[in-house]
Structure 1
Amino acid sequence: MKFKLLIVFLLIAAYGRAQNLNIIPQPQSVNKQEGQFYLNNSTTVGTTDTSLLALVSYFQKEVHKAKSVALVQNVNGSGSLIDLKLSSNQQTIGAYTLNITPEHITVSSSNKEGVFYGLMSLLQLIKDQQADNDKNICLQACKITDAPRYQWRGLMLDEARHFFGKEKVKQLLDWMAYYKLNKFHWHLTDVQGWRIEIKKYPKLTTIGGMGNYSDTSAEAEYYTQNDIREIVDYAGQRFITVIPEIDMPGHATAANRAYPEYTGGSVAGYPNFTFNPANENTYQYLADIIKETNSLFPAHMIHLGGDEVAYGVKAWSLDTAIARMMQKKNFDGVNQLEQYFFKRMADTVTSLNSKILAWDEATGGSLPPDKTIIFWWRQNLPGQLHLALQKNYQVVLCPRLPLYFDFLQDTGLVAGRNWNGVFNRVTDVYNFPDRQVPADELNSKLIVGVQANIWTETIESEKRLDFMLFPRIAGLAEAAWTLPEQKNELVFADKLKADFKNYDAAGIYYYNPFEPSLHPEVVDFVPRIKLVKARSYVRHASKRRHGKINHNKYASSKKGHKSSKRSHKKRK
């Protein structure tokens, strides 16, 4: 009986592979047809809708970059061999139809996002094929009908610990677009550095921007406001929303280096970790920062952090001015004061007609449900997810397991974190969230999507950043886009192997879970730490990621690494 079931399973898997096209994430419906479409330098592409002309140009450039095929733009619009259309029937944002016949290709949707994602699927099919002797690229005739599972398909990059610069961020945005990810969460401030220019407070970057996790004396690195606008525009062309994070009231050390008058004090291991909640000027100072930040990001969403304040909050208990404030307001403890502080800054955000985003610690406060999105990161505290849903907050699922991409990917790797011996493998990312989140909560309409977070304490070079992101970013794409009943992990594995040639062509140094020895692990410089201090280091370094760190196997491997391209450098 077991043998028969195995045969049935293998036949189903084989059928799925036969029907499969190498598109990540897996579309809702793929129906192969008879015949092929031949794409070459004579192929015309166009649209009768002028609002889609930018997408025509974008697609032309991507095809030429990938295959050196120069598609011809049809200036008349009608009669194009590749035709882009906006349909009148209403569809989910991002839904599309891609119809490939031997005579022509049509990409249609009721919204521009959908047309863009249809083009990304077509681009993947083109990149998967080799040109024949006549320089034709042969595409299988098929009809694809597709729509995303979630509207929030996010990736967070921490540039406070190590700074990567404008060109690397743009490359990540290109890959996000390729995999139909649409939210770029940008962690720009923390203990180690402040990376966003605020004109009213220039020392935030000239002083607060100095240093990084592996070198506290490194010259200041940050993004100017023009850099920010350029990146936001670049992302917008790819239908990616950029969300800045300005962390408060904790993780404020870099800001307090620049403007010490706003510090909430120090405790052992956490110098100047918080802002001062008893100094009325602190609120105006942070409001000014929020206003300038908000003006740079058309998303009208600001992530305020709000996490791990407990690490430095003991300093509040030792401050007489803070004690007087708590007594005056009849606060029972520093927790109430923290909620008061966060609510005031959240009110600043909402006054700008923007949404408040925060880590799941903020669930215990009194933020307005219709203006708040909670990021559930502590998988060991499922009650935080339950409470957020109970309080009618929208929720993005981003738990450490399996969506922290600074965690180790598998056994045999050493430079990263794990959670009590559990690794964040690409298969775990791929199967999220259905194997981890209870069905009754997962089915809630308040779950708006999923996001992976990559923290960069152990990531200094672009090469290591790639090694930790790829191929897990592909698993993330399928977790965020594809319904569980449409998933097939054997098929996904085949698609992933096929995509490796695209990583190679782009110069991406990736982890190969099928043959790990092909790409040995990249290990960047990590500060030398005495063993007796290891526990303290884990607590401090593990912002939103209390996992185990392998100290004894760290080694410097900066030699031979491609240096990061820096967007902006200044020395005080």
Structure 2
Amino acid sequence: MYLVKPFSLAFLFVLFSLNFTVAQQQPEIIPMPANYQLNPGEFLWDSKVGITLEGFPDQGNYLQQEALRLLNMPLLEIESASKTIVIKKVNDLKPGYKINIQQNSVTIEASNETGAFYGVISLIQLAHAAKEKHGEIALPNWEIQDSPRYAWRGIMLDESRYFFGMEKVKQLLDHMAYYKLNTFHWHLTDAPGWRIEIKSFPNLATVGGIGNQSEPNAPAAYYTQEEIKEIVRYARERMIQVIPEIDMPGHATAANRAYPEHSGGGSEKYPDFTFHPAKETTYAYLSQILHEVDALFPSNMMHLGGDEVSFGNQMWPKDPDVLKLMAKESLTGMKDVEDYFFERMADTLFRLNNKVLAWDEMATANLPRDKTIIFWWRHDKREQLSLSLKNGYPTVVCPRIPFYFDFLQQEDHKYGRKWAGAFAPLDAVYNFDMDAFGIKKEEEDLILGIQANLWTETVPNEDRFDFLMYPRIAALAEVVWSQKEDQSYPGFMERLAAHLEKYKAEKLYYYDPFDPNHHPEPVYEP
């Protein structure tokens, strides 16, 4: 049957004739699917429903696990079952998935594992929101056809400033999967702490891992390589790629604490902030680190930072080795030195068959367009977005306003950040509009997608983590998945209510936009 858009007159006529409420006129799914139609009747999901796999056994297994974990509903392969959930491979289906719910069957169709997984997620969300009748989950007979707006749908977590550990990261990955987000950008190194084991240079973790944003002598905290592998495996099972960030040439204080011979100096406020840009031993050292990191992450992408170097490069103009480098390479200023450093380290990644990712300061560097991704983060510098696109770089959009989730959510909150009075409430996240930036038609394909970043200067514990992440993660998901014409903030808020109940059941300390006093803002005292 042809699937119509939600504003189709024929579709609305059917719904109103059946006397459904407004909430029932759209599937209880976040992010909102592209096409859907509600048919009469319902599928009653009980413990006798079986599962039939005509492809995608891993996704079938995931559905079984999540049905038991989230719905307390066993789902077994029973040949004689009178009602079944079928997961089917259909080779000629476009990217995405289809769901067809009928009285005695639920069919999920997809052409690849990713599509099948997202079909499973949509079914789980529908079941979460459905009414229970005598131990049965009553699923309305929806037909849904769906695919994402953007390929890059990301969350960045900074664990240098505060370390959260494997179980919290896995919980975040679970929620990313639930909202069809597919890229976990993992900020593992920065000035306060180095959080990844490097066997060639063990002091990076055992010495560089000491301390956090508020306690410089806190015991070393870091991920072993075995823990990294487990998180990568866990993410892959949920169709999420993990991209590490090893920050350079700035934000290097923790690394320089472990191996001071590679320090390029810093400033009074940011001591030992940079790696040395003119020592061959430093390039060899960092290259060895990147080789080890590359072996742990199969994404073939690595973020090298490249931002805010001017915070701590004050020693460079006085360093004889830097001056010799500038003369040799015809570098005219510190930004040229910075770009030279970055281009050399990018070459290491290219030889490892990696793409290099960088913050928007590197839009000026001479990097190959087919191997580089720029992250536009400075919302007050739109010219950097324009420059990135003009120079032909594929670009991920993650401006501070509204996608830095450490920013305040409402005016009277005290412990997050503002920028010139601006902050990041739920509606600002949801109503973000790429069309407002005047991107040229020929540059639209360079926009890979959107990402939210949780920097943790003000996030010392899990309560603040939850409060800042949920439910803004849901708003992000709809912005980056659903077509702009299918987005409606009132409709999103209607669907969000059921998700807050899920957060409550999981004991998350979430922000409640319907009742801001439900969970008071957690105090942050540096």
TM-score, normalised via structure 2 length:
0.94
CA distance in 1, matches of 2:358, 2:466: 27
CA distance in 2, matches of 1:46, 1:316: 65
- Closer, same or farther: CA 365–441 of 1 in aligned 2, 3 Å: farther
The residue correspondences of 1:140-155 to structure 2 (distance < 5 A) are: 140-155=140-155
Give the corresponding residue for 2:66.
Answer: 62
Alpha-carbon displacement from aligned partner over 1:57-84 (angstroms, at most 9, x marks no partner): 211111111221111124x699971000
CA distance in 1, matches of 2:457, 2:315: 25
The residue correspondences of 1:340-351 to structure 2 (distance < 5 A) are: 340-351=340-351
Which piece of structure 1 moves more, 188-197 or 382-391?
382-391
Give the corresponding residue for 1:81.
Answer: 84
Give the corresponding residue for 2:3.
Answer: none
- Tell me, what secondary structure is at the counterpart of 1:370? helix
Alpha-carbon displacement from aligned partner over 1:26-47 (angstroms, at most 9, x marks no partner): 0001100011101011000121
Give the number of equivalent residue pairs.
510
Confirm or deny: 8 A CA contact 1:248 1:305 kept in the other structure: yes
Confirm or deny: 8 A CA contact 2:266 2:311 kept in the other structure: no
Give the corresponding residue for 1:71.
Answer: 75
The residue correspondences of 1:128-143 to structure 2 (distance < 5 A) are: 128-133=129-134, 135-143=135-143
CA distance in 2, matches of 1:436, 1:149: 17
Confirm or deny: 8 A CA contact 1:27 1:145 kept in the other structure: yes
Per the TM alignment, residue 333 of structure 1 is displaced from its structure 2 partner at its CA by 1.3
Alpha-carbon displacement from aligned partner over 1:231-270 (angstroms, at most 9, x marks no partner): 0000000000000000000000000000000000132111
Alpha-carbon displacement from aligned partner over 1:497-531 (angstroms, at most 9, x marks no partner): 221100001111111122111111112331xxxxx
AA matched with 1:89: D
Alpha-carbon displacement from aligned partner over 1:146-172 (angstroms, at most 9, x marks no partner): 000001000000000000000000000
Q: What percent of counterpart residues are identical?
A: 47
- Tell me, what secondary structure is at the counterpart of 1:62? helix
Give the corresponding residue for 1:200.
Answer: 200
CA distance in 1, matches of 2:265, 2:394: 34
Query: Is the aligned partner of 1:104 residue 2:100?
Result: no
Confirm or deny: 8 A CA contact 1:46 1:77 kept in the other structure: no
- Tell me, what secondary structure is at the counterpart of 1:429? helix
Give the corresponding residue for 1:303.
Answer: 303
Give the corresponding residue for 1:279.
Answer: 279
AA matched with 2:32: Q
Give the corresponding residue for 2:51.
Answer: 45
CA distance in 1, matches of 2:412, 2:190: 31
AA matched with 1:197: E
- Tell me, what secondary structure is at the counterpart of 1:314? coil
Alpha-carbon displacement from aligned partner over 1:189-227 (angstroms, at most 9, x marks no partner): 000000011100000000000000010000000000000
CA distance in 2, matches of 1:78, 1:72: 9
- Tell me, what secondary structure is at the counterpart of 1:445? helix
Give the corresponding residue for 2:8.
Answer: none
Indicate the RMSD between aligned Cα atoms, in angstroms. Answer: 1.9
The residue correspondences of 1:505-524 to structure 2 (distance < 5 A) are: 505-524=505-524
Query: Is the aligned partner of 1:254 residue 2:254?
Result: yes
Query: Is the aligned partner of 1:34 residue 2:40?
Result: yes
TM-score, normalised via structure 1 length:
0.87
- Tell me, what secondary structure is at the counterpart of 1:176? helix
Give the corresponding residue for 2:94.
Answer: 91
Give the corresponding residue for 1:419.
Answer: 419
- Closer, same or farther: CA 255–481 of 1 in aligned 2, 3 Å: same
Give the corresponding residue for 2:27.
Answer: 21
Alpha-carbon displacement from aligned partner over 1:443-463 (angstroms, at most 9, x marks no partner): 610101000000001001111
Confirm or deny: 8 A CA contact 2:157 2:186 kept in the other structure: yes
- Closer, same or farther: CA 78–236 of 1 in aligned 2, 3 Å: farther
- Closer, same or farther: CA 443–46 of 1 in aligned 2, 3 Å: farther
Which piece of structure 1 moves more, 263-272 or 356-365?
263-272
- Tell me, what secondary structure is at the counterpart of 1:418? coil
- Closer, same or farther: CA 215–288 of 1 in aligned 2, 3 Å: same
AA matched with 1:111: N
- Closer, same or farther: CA 277–439 of 1 in aligned 2, 3 Å: closer
Give the corresponding residue for 1:229.
Answer: 229
CA distance in 1, matches of 2:518, 2:267: 46
- Closer, same or farther: CA 259–178 of 1 in aligned 2, 3 Å: same
Give the corresponding residue for 1:546.
Answer: none
Contiguous gaps of at least 5 residues in structure 2: 1-12
- Larger relative contact order, structure 1 or 2 (CA cutoff 8 Å, min sep 6): 1
CA distance in 1, matches of 2:489, 2:21: 13
